[in-house]
């Protein structure tokens, strides 16, 4: 079923070109009577880099991401007629489209060159719909790297829009829309307005919630280890560990048992039974794919997945290297293929020989196998050229940054990630590291002990790169312990015997790296979506990150439980993974996208109808507690409100007493003390308390209900309306959206409101008494002056790096 495209004048017919069209001639200057061309990419940064590689006959424009999408105001999917989507031009993109169409009229051929993935294909598809009335000679080109070579190769192989890849993206977009728009209203009714559900993100929340419950339910088990310091005829002393009792694996579970073993060991001779020496080779891991880059970025650089991808996007699109201009430094960063081009491998081998010597270069290039289900259209993530080593890049970027400290910090982040990619790529084409490994088995009566040591014999690739223990899966592997010269039958002197008590540990909470790894292993989402998944579950308030580890919030846990109960398929890890496989099958052309949606929607619709009736209504639930109301003596109950759980008097509405509380480790309830302020009640002079109501925090008299005086909390900024006399305070709309208004706010008295938070800072330009600040989800934002005619504004830093074009995986569950 073709998509329905909504336009101001008429609906454009959906057209997808057939494969195999002849390649156009290379465009040249019109004045010579030759072709002129328009190249359209999705990023202004990429457009700038590409422009320098093209001649005068080329015009380069940027779409700045998607130009069309499903509408925000409604679902935009006709489920009764083949799930036909209704696309609309994204707000703010009409002017960009008009400029692109105008440029298309003046050229002979249009090359669409958004990113080479599903999202890029969708951008190209919708651009083609818009451009075709102006110029029907449209070709699709792909750039795996933004270099002169990459751009030239892309232009030399023009093709057509990949219908299957576009349909895969469209199916994913519709799936996410169906889940988000159909489940969210139920959550609004049962939990609170503004919540949203996501097809993939909800499963990620479930993984975090279930890990939290594993930790809570974990029962620690005691166990003991015994290690001994021993010495032979030759120095140095070394340490051995008990590993056998009567020929079986040593398993000590109690202190008394361990002390008996220690007593026996003290009276037993330690004799070297067996010495095994062998050479061990450790081979380098494959070059980076997206998921591995995100994981190692988190482990080694402490970057979030989102920051890693944002930095990688800019490295791919091109950075200004002084007189060099914009240079694309890495290949496309959304890939699950470990394939490397022959040219890249040859260049790496030449670099290794020159830098580390001929002995570091393997006899033949190393080829890495790509996993079966991987899309092999792109190479692995690698530097585009050995010409730009990390130190050269740092020097050129530093010069370009001048003395700007913020730009210099930005430079360092980019260089650190580039260094990681560079080192991994170089290492993957080097010889393995070689170790001399020695294992010594020792007998002491009925006990067996062991010592293992290794000495690095040849550094190989480890001279450049060492993987994290978490990635190799062997934390003990690289411990270098030098053992002395020993001989079988030799008796050892025992200096010390150390019994040590341990307890088994619960599974650790997920970090950025380990959650990405978990998603990858379970087949949830795709590498290009992981960064978005991790950001979204935090932005929606379902998961918090504390000290680098993910914790589910109370809201996240409650919503998860409701969804698991009412939508078992949607929240099932295996089911979600199978849907991802289905989307891959659509891209491969082996599955029909409408049928996939139909197979999904039929049972989903049944679950929706049941959930609307039977899903627990948290708004109405009251959980009894052991506490009583200090005002009327009625039992206090836990209720759910807009701001989460709170204690309320069960005598409501006669008694409206509420209190904040927190849960102790054992699950019992502790009532939080009320926040007393220095403010005095204007009516009776009693202290004022900070209270939280439906529309935010406010001050209330501590003598309530005898005195019902309330007043808003000041932000320290006076209302700018002449003669008003009020002050600005935080408020909430009936839909829960935060805004800032005058304390005298009403339609008749003072209607001054702001959407951005006022801050008591004088404008340095016009000296207005306050500025306003708008923060974005990445922690950055903008401070500006709202005084008429001023125009002062200043960007504020985003500590996690700026976001790039997100690639595929942006879900659109709707929020209020």
Instruction: Dump pLDDT digits (tens) for 83-129.
Output: 999 999 999 999 999 999 999 999 999 999 999 999 999 999 999 99
User: Of 337-351, 400-414, 521-535, which range is least confident?
Assistant: 400-414
Dihedral sign for Cα atoms in the order 737, 742, 747, 751: negative
For residues 2 and 217, which has the higher predicted lDDT (pLDDT)?
217
What share of the chain has pLDDT > 70, as a percent?
Answer: 89
What was the pLDDT predicted at 796?
64
* Of 87, 332, 418, 745, catalytic: 332
Strand-strand pairing, 138-140 and 109-112 = parallel
> Rounded to whole angstroms, how far apart are CA atoms 562 and 610?
12
| d(C-alpha 143, C-alpha 117), whole Å | 11
| pLDDT range class, residue 17, cuts 50, 70, 90 | very low
pLDDT value of residue 22: 35
Q: Is the pLDDT of residue 232 over 90?
A: yes
Lookup result for tokens 């502790």 = 670
Mean pLDDT of 523-544: 93
Judge whether residue 674 has pLDDT over 80: no
The mean pLDDT of 31-43, rounded to a whole number, is 81
Strands 635-641 and 623-628: antiparallel
Taking the C-alpha atoms of residue 333 and residue 311, their distance in angstroms, rounded to an integer, is 10
Provide the token pair at 717. 């900024």
Give the residue, 469 or 528, on which the prediction is more confident. Answer: 528
Instruction: Determine the length of the chain.
Output: 816
> For residue 378, what pLDDT is reported?
82
Q: What is the pLDDT of residues 560-608, one digit of tens each?
A: 999 999 999 999 999 999 999 999 999 999 999 999 999 999 999 999 9
Helix, coil or strand: residue 231: strand
The chain-wide mean pLDDT, for the chain, equals 88
Is residue 521 over pLDDT 80?
A: yes
Report pLDDT for 8.
38
Please confirm whether the linkage preceding 705 is cis (ω < 30° from 0). yes
Backbone angles phi, psi at 621, to 5 degrees: -70, 145
Task: Tell me how far apart the terminal alpha carbons of the chain are, to the nearest angstrom.
Answer: 31
Averaged pLDDT for residues 647-672:
84
Residue 710's pLDDT is what? 86
Q: Which residue carries 């974990």 as its tokens? A: 218
Question: Of the given ranges (117-121, 411-415, 474-478, 666-670), which has the lowest mean pLDDT?
Answer: 474-478
Q: What percent of the chain has pLDDT over 90?
A: 68
Neighbouring residues of 179: CB distance < 8 A, sequence distance ≥ 6: 197, 198, 199, 202, 570, 604, 811, 813
Average pLDDT over residues 164-191: 96
**pLDDT grade for 26, boundaries at 50, 70 and 90:** very low
Q: Residue 132: how many CA atoms within 13 Å on its side-chain side?
A: 14
Q: Over the range 106-123, which residues count as b (16 or more CB within 10 Å of their CB) and which as e?
A: ebbbbbbbbbbbbbbbbb
The span from the CA of 530 to the CA of 295, in Å, is: 10
Give the residue-averaged pLDDT of 432-456.
95
- The confidence score (pLDDT) of residue 128 equals 97
CA-nearest of 243, 246, 248, 241 to 451 is 241
pLDDT of residue 407: 86
CA distance 245 to 525: 47
pLDDT of 766: 87
In the predicted model, what is the mean pLDDT of residues 320-337? Answer: 91
Coil, helix or strand for 690? Answer: strand
Nearest to 352 by CA among 468, 469, 459: 459
Per the annotation, the verdict on 332 as an active-site residue is yes
Residue 746 has pLDDT above 80, yes or no: no
Query: What average pLDDT does range 690-705 have in this prediction?
Result: 75
* Residue 640, phi then psi, degrees to nearest 5: -110, 130
Per-residue model confidence (pLDDT) at position 369:
86
More confident site: 694 or 92 = 92
Which of the four pLDDT bands, split at 50, 70 and 90, describes residue 800? Answer: very low
Does residue 301 contact residue 416 with C-beta atoms inside 8 Å? yes
In the structure, what pLDDT confidence band is assigned to residue 444 with cuts at 50, 70 and 90? Answer: very high
- Cα 302 to the center of its chain, rounded Å: 13
362, burial (CB in 10 Å: exposed 0-12, middle 13-18, buried 19+): middle
DSSP 8-state symbol, 485: P
- The more confident residue out of 745 and 629 is 629
Nearest by Cα to 293 from 419, 394, 115: 419
pLDDT exceeds cutoff 80 at 779: no
Choice among 5-19, 141-155, 654-668 with the minimum mean pLDDT: 5-19
Instruction: Specify the pLDDT at position 478.
Output: 44
pLDDT band at 813 (very low <50, low <70, confident <90, very high): very low
Q: Contact, 318 vs 459, CB < 8 A?
A: no
- Model confidence band, residue 512 (pLDDT cutoffs 50, 70, 90): very high
What are the b/e assignments for 445-465, b being 16+ CB within 10 Å? eebbbebbbbeeebebbbbbb
What's the average model confidence in pLDDT over 657-686?
Answer: 82
At 791, is the pLDDT very low, low, confident or very high (cuts 50, 70, 90)? confident
- Of 393-407, 415-429, 600-614, the one with minimum mean pLDDT is 393-407
Q: Which residues are 436's β-sheet partners?
A: 279, 455
CA–CA separation, 374 and 380 (whole Å): 11
The pLDDT value recorded for residue 299 is 94
Mutual angle of helices 305-317 and 290-301, in 10-degree steps: 120
Separation of alpha carbons 252 and 45, rounded Å: 62
Residue with tokens 């109960």: 565
Q: How would you class 744 by CB atoms within 10 Å of its CB: exposed for 0-12, middle for 13-18, buried for 19 or more?
A: middle
- Judge whether 415 and 393 are in contact, CB under 8 Å: yes
DSSP secondary structure of 584-646: HHHHHTSS-HHHHHHHHHHHHHHHHHHHHHHS--TTT--EEEEEE-TTT-PEEEEEEETTEEE
- Of the ranges 344-348, 366-370, 655-659, 714-718, the best mean pLDDT one: 344-348
How deeply is 607 buried, as exposed, middle or buried, from its count of CB atoms within 10 A (0-12, 13-18, 19+)? middle
355 three-class SS: helix
């Amino acid at each position: 079923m073709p998509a329905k495209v909504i336009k101001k004048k008429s609906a454009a017919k959906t057209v997808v070109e057939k494969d195999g069209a002849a390649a156009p001639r290379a465009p040249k200057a019109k004045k010579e009577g030759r072709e002129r061309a328009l190249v359209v990419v999705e990023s202004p940064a990429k457009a700038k880099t590409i422009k320098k590689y093209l001649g005068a006959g080329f015009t380069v424009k940027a779409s700045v991401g998607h130009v069309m999408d499903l509408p925000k105001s409604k679902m935009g999917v006709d489920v009764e007629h083949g799930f036909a989507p209704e696309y609309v031009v994204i707000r703010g993109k009409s002017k960009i489209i008009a400029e692109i169409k105008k440029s298309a009229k003046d050229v002979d051929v249009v090359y669409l060159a958004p990113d080479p993935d599903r999202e890029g294909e969708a951008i190209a598809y919708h651009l083609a719909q818009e451009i075709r009335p102006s110029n029907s000679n449209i070709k699709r080109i792909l750039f795996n790297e933004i270099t002169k070579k990459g751009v030239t190769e892309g232009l030399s192989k023009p093709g057509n829009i990949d219908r299957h890849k576009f349909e895969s993206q469209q199916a994913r977009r519709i799936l996410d829309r169906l889940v988000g728009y159909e489940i969210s209203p139920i959550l609004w009714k049962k939990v609170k307005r503004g919540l949203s559900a996501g097809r993939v993100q909800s499963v990620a929340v479930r993984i975090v919630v279930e890990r939290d419950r594993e930790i809570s339910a974990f029962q620690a088990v005691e166990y003991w280890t015994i290690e001994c310091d021993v010495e032979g005829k030759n120095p140095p002393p070394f340490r051995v560990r008990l590993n056998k009792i009567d020929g079986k694996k040593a398993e000590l579970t109690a202190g008394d048992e361990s002390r008996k073993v220690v007593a026996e060991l003290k009276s037993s001779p330690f004799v070297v039974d067996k010495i095994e020496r062998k050479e061990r080779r450790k081979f380098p891991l494959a070059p980076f794919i997206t998921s591995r880059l995100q994981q190692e970025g988190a482990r080694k650089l402490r970057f979030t997945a989102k920051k890693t991808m944002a930095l990688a996007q800019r490295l791919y699109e091109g950075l200004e290297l002084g007189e060099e201009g914009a240079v694309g430094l890495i290949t496309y960063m959304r890939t699950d293929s470990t394939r490397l081009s022959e040219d890249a491998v040859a260049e790496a081998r030449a670099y290794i020989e020159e830098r580390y010597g001929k002995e570091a270069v393997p006899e033949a290039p190393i080829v890495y196998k790509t996993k079966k289900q991987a899309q092999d259209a792109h190479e692995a993530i690698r530097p585009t050229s050995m010409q730009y080593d990390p130190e050269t890049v740092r020097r050129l970027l530093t010069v370009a940054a001048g003395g700007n400290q913020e730009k210099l910090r930005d430079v360092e982040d980019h260089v650190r990630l580039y260094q990681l990619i560079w080192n991994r790529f170089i290492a993957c084409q080097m010889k393995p590291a070689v170790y001399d490994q020695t294992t010594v088995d020792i007998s002491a009566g009925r006990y067996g002990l062991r010592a293992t040591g290794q000495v690095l014999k040849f550094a190989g690739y480890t001279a450049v790169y060492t993987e994290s223990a978490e990635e190799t899966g062997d934390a003990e592997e690289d411990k270098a312990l030098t053992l002395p010269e020993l001989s079988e039958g030799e008796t050892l002197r025992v200096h010390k015997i150390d019994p040590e008590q341990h307890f088994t540990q619960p599974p650790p909470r997920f970090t950025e790296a380990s959650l990405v790894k978990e998603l990858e292993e379970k087949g949830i989402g795709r590498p290009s979506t992981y960064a978005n998944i991790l950001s979204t579950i935090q932005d929606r308030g379902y998961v918090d990150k504390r000290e680098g580890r993910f914790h589910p919030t109370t809201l996240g846990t409650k919503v998860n439980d409701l969804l698991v109960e009412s939508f078992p398929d949607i929240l099932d890890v295996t089911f979600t993974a199978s849907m991802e496989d289905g989307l891959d099958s659509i891209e491969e052309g082996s599955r029909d996208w409408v049928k996939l949606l139909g197979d999904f929607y039929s049972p989903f619709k049944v679950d929706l109808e049941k959930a609307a009736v039977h899903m627990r209504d948290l708004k109405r639930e009251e959980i009894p507690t052991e506490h009583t109301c200090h005002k009327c003596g009625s039992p206090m109950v836990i209720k759910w409100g807009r701001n989460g759980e709170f204690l309320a008097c069960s005598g409501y509405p006669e008694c409206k007493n509420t209190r904040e509380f927190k849960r102790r480790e054992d699950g019992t309830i502790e009532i939080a003390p009320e926040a007393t302020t220095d403010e005095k009640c204007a009516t009776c002079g009693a202290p004022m308390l900070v209270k939280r109501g439906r529309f935010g925090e406010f001050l209330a008299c501590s003598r309530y209900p005898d005195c019902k005086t309330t007043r808003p909390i000041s932000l320290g900024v006076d209302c700018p309306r002449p003669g008003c006399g009020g002050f600005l305070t935080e408020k909430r709309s009936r839909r829960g959206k935060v805004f800032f208004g005058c304390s005298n706010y009403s339609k008749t008295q003072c209607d001054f409101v702001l959407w951005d938070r006022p801050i008591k800072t004088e404008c340095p330009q016009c000296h207005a008494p306050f500025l306003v600040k708008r923060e974005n989800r990445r922690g950055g934002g903008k401070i500006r002056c709202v005084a008429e005619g001023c125009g002062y504004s200043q960007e504020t830093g985003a500590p996690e790096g700026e976001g790039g074009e997100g690639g595929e995986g942006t879900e659109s569950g709707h929020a209020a």
